[in-house]
């Protein structure tokens, strides 16, 4: 019988995709354990690799609980929830998965943007509440409200990486002018560059956030940036929830200083503030922009290749520390 190495998976994922990993390795499911501490203690002498998501915190205590751990494989581009310094100090390699879902995230970002800007969710609720027949028959005193046009607007992109580039290509198809803010201008991009998020917000009608998380981008979109967009502004976040000052966002969506928002990521997710859930002008989705069957299969392929390379003593494909 061929020896199988032990992998610890930290998050509940699609069974068909997880089955790809289980063909080669013994996969232990942390989310199924009632006592996670005891569960990890039982794996301390066997687990050499961890398979994790972008929202699971992997800190020093987690690593110390698995003394045989050699590699942490993140299932996504972001790795801000992994303590890279602690990993490096213990000789643990960290990998991510980049560029497998950029197009999928960009598609979703445009969907959130259209839905938020045109008020699609309230329109769905309008129909489901039974108000449409009364509206058409003229018996409802409040007509369904007009919404602003979508195409031809100015779109700002915060973070011009692979996802930002894909969003820009889609925006051009909607006859939009595109501007962006990045740590520095890109020589391969012809769109207008703005030196700060505030300057970008003052220029644009719509703002799509596609930047990575971490301390360097925490609250990069603050109250001043949101105010600069004005009462017709729409913000979409497919980056990290921490990039937006969430309380400032809630306040401006509540009092009309900002038109709408589309959020695939939330600061503190999966917990969502009750006030945010109450707002009619917000579209919230469960951090699923990049999760399609095709992107998941491509990502799993990279994860497996990294694990195989680590166990074979070969260079990794996407090491980040």
- The pLDDT-based confidence of 77 (bands split at 50, 70, 90) is confident
Q: Is there a catalytic annotation at residue 240?
A: yes
- The residues, ordered by sequence, that sit 6+ positions from 240 with a Cβ below 8 Å of its Cβ are 78, 80, 211, 212, 213, 214, 217, 265
Based on the domain organization, do 111 and 96 belong to the same domain?
no
Based on the domain organization, do 187 and 164 belong to the same domain?
yes
| Alpha carbon distance 198, 202 (integer Å) | 6
Give the model's pLDDT for residue 135. 65
Give percent of the chain with pLDDT exceeding 90. Answer: 83
Name the helix (H) or strand (E) containing 79.
none
Give the model's pLDDT for residue 218. 95
Q: Is 123 within the bounds of a domain?
A: yes
- The pLDDT-based confidence of 247 (bands split at 50, 70, 90) is very high
Q: Is 172 within the bounds of a domain?
A: yes
Q: Is 320 within the bounds of a domain?
A: no
Looking at every residue in the chain, the average pLDDT score rounds to 93
Taking CA atoms, 119 is separated from 122, 147, 266, 280, in Å, by: 6, 7, 20, 9
> Stretch 272-299: mean pLDDT, rounded?
94
Three-class SS state of 57: coil
Residue found under tokens 């074979």: 312
Q: Provide the domain count of the chain.
A: 2
Distance between start and end Cα atoms, the chain: 35
Based on the domain organization, do 168 and 261 belong to the same domain?
yes
Which string of DSSP letters, residue by residue, matches 177-236? EEEEE-SS--TT--SEE-SSHHHHHHH-SEEEE----SGGGTTSB-HHHHHHH-TT-EEE
Give the model's pLDDT for residue 145. 80
Domain that holds residue 129: 102-284
Least confident interval from 41-55, 139-153, 250-264, 273-287: 139-153
- Please work out, in degrees rounded to the nearest 5, the angle formed at the alpha carbon of residue 152 by the alpha carbons of 259 and 101: 80
pLDDT higher than 70, residue 141: no
Give the model's pLDDT for residue 139. 59
Based on the domain organization, do 43 and 91 belong to the same domain?
yes
Q: Which of 5, 251, 269, 297 is catalytic?
A: 269
Q: Is there a catalytic annotation at residue 293?
A: no
pLDDT higher than 90, residue 12: no
Q: What is the pLDDT of residues 190-213, one digit of tens each?
A: 999 999 999 999 999 999 999 998
Based on the domain organization, do 82 and 195 belong to the same domain?
no
Q: Which of 181, 240, 252, 259 is catalytic?
A: 240
Residue found under tokens 């398979």: 51
Give the model's pLDDT for residue 2. 67
Q: What is the pLDDT of residues 44-53, one digit of tens each?
A: 999 999 999 8
Based on the domain organization, do 216 and 306 belong to the same domain?
no
Q: Is 316 within the bounds of a domain?
A: no
Give the model's pLDDT for residue 104. 95
For residue 262, the domain's CATH number is 3.40.50.720
Q: What is the pLDDT of residues 209-237, one digit of tens each?
A: 999 988 899 999 999 999 999 999 999 99
Q: Is 319 within the bounds of a domain?
A: no
Give percent of the chain with pLDDT exceeding 70. Answer: 97
Based on the domain organization, do 235 and 274 belong to the same domain?
yes
**Closest listed residue to residue 153, CA positions, set 217, 230, 219, 223:** 230
- The pLDDT-based confidence of 261 (bands split at 50, 70, 90) is very high
Least confident interval from 1-5, 73-77, 97-101, 133-137: 133-137
Q: Is there a catalytic annotation at residue 28?
A: no
> Stretch 265-277: mean pLDDT, rounded?
94
Give the model's pLDDT for residue 137. 63
Q: Is 160 within the bounds of a domain?
A: yes
Q: Is 279 within the bounds of a domain?
A: yes
Count of other CB atoms within 10 angstroms of residue 102: 20
Residue 155 bridge partners (DSSP): 178, 206
Based on the domain organization, do 220 and 108 belong to the same domain?
yes
Based on the domain organization, do 10 and 113 belong to the same domain?
no
What would you measure as the largest C-alpha separation in the chain, in angstroms? Answer: 75
Give the model's pLDDT for residue 227. 98
Based on the domain organization, do 114 and 217 belong to the same domain?
yes
Residue found under tokens 């950029």: 102
Q: Which of 28, 81, 170, 287 is catalytic?
A: 287
DSSP state of 244: B
Q: Is 249 within the bounds of a domain?
A: yes
Based on the domain organization, do 159 and 205 belong to the same domain?
yes
Based on the domain organization, do 119 and 230 belong to the same domain?
yes
Give the model's pLDDT for residue 164. 97
């Amino acid at each position: 019988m061929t020896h199988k190495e032990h992998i610890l998976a930290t998050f509940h994922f699609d069974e068909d995709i997880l089955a790809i990993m289980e063909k080669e390795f013994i996969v232990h499911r942390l989310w199924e354990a009632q006592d996670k501490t005891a569960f990890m203690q039982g794996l301390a002498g066997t687990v050499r690799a961890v398979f994790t998501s972008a929202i699971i915190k992997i800190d020093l205590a987690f690593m110390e609980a698995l003394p045989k751990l050699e590699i942490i494989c993140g299932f996504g581009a972001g790795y801000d929830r992994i303590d890279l310094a602690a990993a490096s100090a213990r000789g643990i390699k960290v990998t991510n998965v980049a560029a497998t879902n950029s197009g999928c995230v960009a598609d979703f970002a445009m969907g959130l943007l259209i839905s938020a800007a045109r008020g699609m969710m309230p329109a769905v609720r309008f129909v489901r509440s039974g108000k449409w027949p009364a509206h058409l028959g003229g018996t409802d005193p409040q007509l369904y409200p007009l919404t602003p046009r979508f195409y031809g607007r100015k779109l700002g992109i915060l973070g011009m990486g692979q996802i930002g580039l894909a969003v820009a290509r889609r925006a051009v198809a909607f006859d939009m002018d595109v501007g962006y803010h990045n740590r520095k201008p890109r020589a391969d991009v012809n769109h207008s560059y703005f030196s700060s998020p505030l300057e970008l917000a003052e220029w644009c009608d719509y703002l799509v956030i596609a930047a990575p998380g971490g301390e360097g981008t925490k609250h990069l979109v603050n109250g001043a940036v949101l105010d600069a967009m004005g009462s017709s502004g729409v913000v979409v976040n497919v980056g990290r929830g921490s990039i937006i000052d969430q309380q400032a966002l809630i306040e401006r969506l509540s009092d009309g200083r900002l038109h709408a928002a589309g959020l695939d990521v939330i600061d503190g997710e999966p917990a969502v503030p009750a006030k945010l859930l109450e707002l009619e002008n917000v579209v919230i989705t469960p951090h699923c922009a990049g999760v399609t069957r095709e992107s998941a299969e491509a990502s799993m392929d990279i994860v497996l290749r990294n694990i195989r390379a680590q166990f074979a003593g070969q260079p990794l494909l996407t090491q980040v520390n």
